[in-house]
């Protein structure tokens, strides 16, 4: 399972993206910068992803292919966290995207039949 996020070059910077996943689950995130790269007539040369906020999220080093950044995210604890994804284009311009995560631990929840 993976999450694909499309970056709209005409968006407002307050685009809200919230996803949930379970504790100890390695979720693949793909951030597609193709539309923005096309709008700027350039390509993505590098991407960095970092965990922000109170919840520590473990991230793999992003790889880039055809203007799409891919990385895995996981956490050993439940809580809310934020991933900051920064793409650097060949032209030198940068684009920052935020992804909010809600990490759930099913063992802590009461499940009803």
Phi, psi of 87 (to 5 degrees): -100, 135
Residue 106 gets which letter from DSSP?
G
How many Å apart are CA 14 and CA 30, to the nearest integer? 19
Task: Say if residue 113's pLDDT is above 60.
Answer: no
Rounded distance between C-alpha atoms, residue 69 and residue 57, angstroms: 17
Q: What is the C-alpha separation between 31 and 106, in angstroms, rounded? A: 27
Contact 48, 85 (CB under 8 A): yes
Q: Which one of 3.90.1150.10, 2.60.40.10, 1.10.3720.10, 3.40.1350.10 gives the CATH number of domain 2-10+17-105? A: 2.60.40.10
Question: What are 60-83's pLDDT values in tens digits?
Answer: 999 999 999 999 999 999 889 999
What percentage of residues in the chain have a pLDDT greater than 90?
Answer: 61
Is the pLDDT at 13 greater than 60? The verdict is no
Query: Given a cut of 70, is residue 7 above it in pLDDT?
Result: yes
Higher pLDDT, 2 or 83: 83
Q: What is the pLDDT of residue 12?
A: 59
């Amino acid at each position: 399972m993976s999450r694909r996020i499309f970056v709209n070059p005409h968006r407002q910077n307050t685009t809200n993206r919230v996803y949930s996943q379970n504790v100890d689950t390695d979720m693949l995130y793909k951030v597609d910068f193709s539309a923005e790269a096309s709008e700027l007539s350039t390509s993505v040369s590098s991407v960095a992803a970092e965990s922000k906020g109170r919840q520590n999220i473990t991230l793999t080093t992003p790889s880039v292919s055809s203007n799409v950044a891919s990385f895995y995210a996981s956490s050993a604890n439940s809580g809310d966290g934020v991933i900051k994804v920064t793409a650097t284009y060949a032209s030198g311009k940068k684009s920052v995207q935020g992804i909010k995560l809600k990490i759930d631990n099913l063992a802590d929840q009461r499940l009803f039949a």
